[in-house]
Amino acid sequence: MSSTMRAIGVQGGKGPATALFVDEIAKPVPAPGQALVKIKAFGLNRMDLLQREGLYPVPPQAPATIGVEFSGVVEGFGGGEPCDFKVGDEVFGLAYGGAYAEYIAVSTKMLIHKPEHLSWEEAAGVPETWITASQALFLIGDFQAGQSVLWHAGASSVSICGIQLAKAQGAKAIYATAGSQEKIDFLEKELGVTKAFNYKTEDWAAEIQKATGGTGVNLTVDFVGAPYFQGNLNVAAKDGKVVLLGFMGGAQLPDGVNIAPLLMKRIRVEGSTLRSRDEEYQRQLRDTLVSHALPRFQDGRFKVFVERVFPFEKIMEAHQLLESNTTKGKIICVIE
């Protein structure tokens, strides 16, 4: 068996999408508690773009190869305590890095048995986005039946997952923002959100206040950051929560931000990351995903939206499509 494998590298260590290339590197050797998985497909995430450009704080235990979510077949183990997996099992999972490759060594705590009816491509699009959405909604947001929620970047993969999770949890109302009429239609007609707002043509904060009769929303999940901070405070309900997951619009607050609603409405604002968390925390999130989502994948109530599938060798084009901000759902690469 070969001791090397193909993996995606970045010329010069960092750079634009055109710097991505297929490299030949050492095949990973699983440590105790890890499985060796032969990868069938992997998903793209925005953190991958930042890591490619040298702008993402990669965890120290992560390999140099980009990529955190994958699907594939277990080929072996590194020993350690018994686990719920065996050689030949079809799995999908989350890793600290290394998924843009033919093989990955990953903790068995972050593996999930792949349901038969999910394709390799669909399964590869589940871990990062559904776990992140579950984290924001349940572990941080403590979302309950009968509450309302606002998802910014509504057609992003995480929000698509979160909208489905919120509906299944019995949300009173689900709102979203997006940047095109095509995405607004997708959110309202296909995902069934209560109302979606075009942030380019509408004052989404004012419109949500109208839609809620001034009571606001119980939970807001935001990836945009500084430009939306004031609006998030304005639309928060009494004792509302704002979960901050990204800074796509920047991290420096504009002049004139009024923080009075934080006090007057007792708003809790909490930021969170996933990749930097320890294995036990990630295992807890995996178990949350398994309990909330896996049964609904199996009976078809939850759907993995895949925008486009690329062959492994077309990684440059895949990154360029993700950078275009025109997608609805996951971009997946497959390894033949």
Q: What is the CATH number of the domain that holds 294?
A: 3.90.180.10
Per-residue model confidence as pLDDT tens for the chain (336 residues): 689 999 999 999 999 999 999 999 999 999 999 999 999 999 999 999 999 999 988 988 899 999 999 999 999 999 877 789 999 999 999 999 999 999 999 999 999 999 988 999 999 999 999 989 999 999 899 999 999 999 999 999 999 999 999 999 999 999 999 999 999 999 999 999 999 999 999 999 999 999 999 999 999 999 999 999 999 999 999 999 999 998 889 999 999 999 999 999 999 999 988 777 878 888 888 888 888 788 888 888 899 999 999 999 999 999 999 999 888 889 999 998
Residues 261 and 323 in one domain: no
On whether the CB atoms of residues 72 and 110 are closer than 8 A, the answer is no
Residues 172 and 91 in one domain: no
CA distance 289 to 155: 20
CA distance 221 to 261: 17
Q: How many structural domains does the chain have?
A: 2
Any residues with CB less than 8 A from the CB of 256 and at least 6 apart, and which? Answer: none
Q: Which of 252, 271, 290 is the last residue before a domain boundary? A: 271
Print the domain residue range for 119.
4-126+275-334
Looking at residue 276, the DSSP 8-state letter turns out to be T
CA 239 vs CA 129, 170, 175, 177, 269: distances in Å: 27, 19, 18, 22, 11
Half-sphere exposure of 252 (CA within 13 A, CB side): 2
Any residues with CB less than 8 A from the CB of 292 and at least 6 apart, and which? Answer: 134, 138, 165, 168
Residues 255 and 234 in one domain: yes
CA distance 225 to 244: 7
Look up residue 199 and give its amino acid.
Answer: Y
